[in-house]
Amino acid sequence: MIQIAPSLLSADFSRLADAAHMVEKAGADLIHVDVMDGHFVPMLTFGPAHVAALKKVTALPLDVHLMVDNPSAMIPLFAEAGADWISIHVEAAPHLHRDVSAIRRAGRKAGVVLNPATPLTALEAILPDADFVLLMSVNPGRGSQPFIEASHERIRLLRRRIEERGLRTLVEIDGGVNLKNFERLCEDGAQVFVAGNAVFGSPDPAGVIRTMRDIAARKERR
Ligand code: DX5
Ligand code: ZN
């Protein structure tokens, strides 16, 4: 089952509720919220107050991607604010197992994020405890960057490893996803698709989501 998660990073920040309504109506499954702290990545974006506000205006689950140093301190704040999925970077989390456990104890789905150059072997020990893995297909920090081609192979290897181990961990892909590479990413085995610029940079954002839905439905039928 393929899930589409438009990223609000590329939406109009003065009209986030409108963006949430639009993607919900167009058939998105999740709303991706990119949290940047000005340390792990240079930019500052959303905080728990934004998540709490969004929670009031949409029924879609909020997929909160924490690009922050010291995620341990942030997890309770975002869980409390209403984040449904919370993902943390292995590069920022020396106590990864403890953090993943904290997310799950809070009743949220726990995700582990890998930067493009972080080896997949970093996941070996944590994989059974994670609900999903988010593979970055750009360097984190901003939207509208080109997709890093080596990510195709990483998705395939990761899916194979998850299947070998008999796990149900989902694979999410984030960065440079668009209508050109969407079909191939489905074939690679990605299950959750983040799309920022491809959706909000389009003159017809709802149309892009619907087209992704159609491609996914075609792939799922096979
Ligand atoms: C990048 C963020 C992404 C970003 C993707 O640091 O994690 O979620 O919004 O944007 P696009 O789809 O434009 O690459
Ligand atoms: Zn993201």
Which residues in the chain land under pLDDT 50? none
Report the residue among 35, 37, 144, 194 best suited for mutation to probe ligand 1: largest number of ligand atoms under 8 A from its CB. 194
CA distance 144 to 125: 32
Q: Of all atoms in ligand 1, which is nearest to the CA of residue 36?
A: 6
- CA 76 from centroid of its chain's CA atoms: 19
Ligand 1 site, residue 212, Cβ cutoff 6 A: no
**Sign of the CA dihedral running 215, 217, 144, 131:** negative
Task: Give me ligand 1 centre to Cα 46, in Å.
Answer: 14
Helices (H), ranges, the chain: 16-26, 48-57, 71-81, 96-105, 151-164, 182-188, 197-200, 205-221
Ligand 1 site, residue 154, Cβ cutoff 6 A: no
pLDDT tens digits, one per residue of 72-118: 999 999 999 999 999 999 999 999 999 999 999 999 999 999 999 99
CA distance 196 to 212: 13
Task: Give me ligand 1 centre to Cα 58, in Å.
Answer: 21
Ligand 1 site, residue 194, Cβ cutoff 6 A: yes
Strand order in the sheet with 31-36: 3-6, 192-195, 170-174, 132-136, 109-114, 85-89, 62-67, 31-36
Q: Determine how β-strand 85-89 pairs with β-strand 109-114.
A: parallel
Task: Give me ligand 2 centre to Cα 19, in Å.
Answer: 16
Give the pLDDT confidence score for residue 189 in this predicted structure.
98
CA distance 20 to 30: 10
pTM for this prediction: 0.98
Q: How far is CA 41 from CA 44, 114, 169, 206, 219, in A?
A: 8, 14, 26, 30, 35
Q: Of all atoms in ligand 1, which is nearest to the CA of residue 147?
A: 14
Task: Give me ligand 1 centre to Cα 50, in Å.
Answer: 18
Could you say which DSSP state residue 69 is in?
S
CATH for 62: 3.20.20.70
CA distance 138 to 140: 6
Ligand 1 site, residue 32, Cβ cutoff 6 A: yes
Pair of tokens at residue 33? 């919220």
Give the pLDDT confidence score for residue 91 in this predicted structure.
98
Q: How many domains does the chain have?
A: 1
Q: Of all atoms in ligand 1, which is nearest to the CA of residue 41?
A: 6
Give catalytic status of residue 174 as yes or no: yes
pLDDT tens digits, one per residue of 199-212: 999 999 999 999 99
Out of 29, 37, 174, 188, pick the active-site residue.
174
Q: Give backbone dihedrals phi and psi of 40, rounded to 5 degrees, phi first.
A: -65, -40
The boundaries of the domain holding residue 12 are 3-221
Give the pLDDT confidence score for residue 129 in this predicted structure.
98
Give the pLDDT confidence score for residue 221 in this predicted structure.
79
Ligand 1 site, residue 176, Cβ cutoff 6 A: yes
Give the pLDDT confidence score for residue 74 in this predicted structure.
98
Could you say which DSSP state residue 7 is in?
B
Give the pLDDT confidence score for residue 100 in this predicted structure.
98
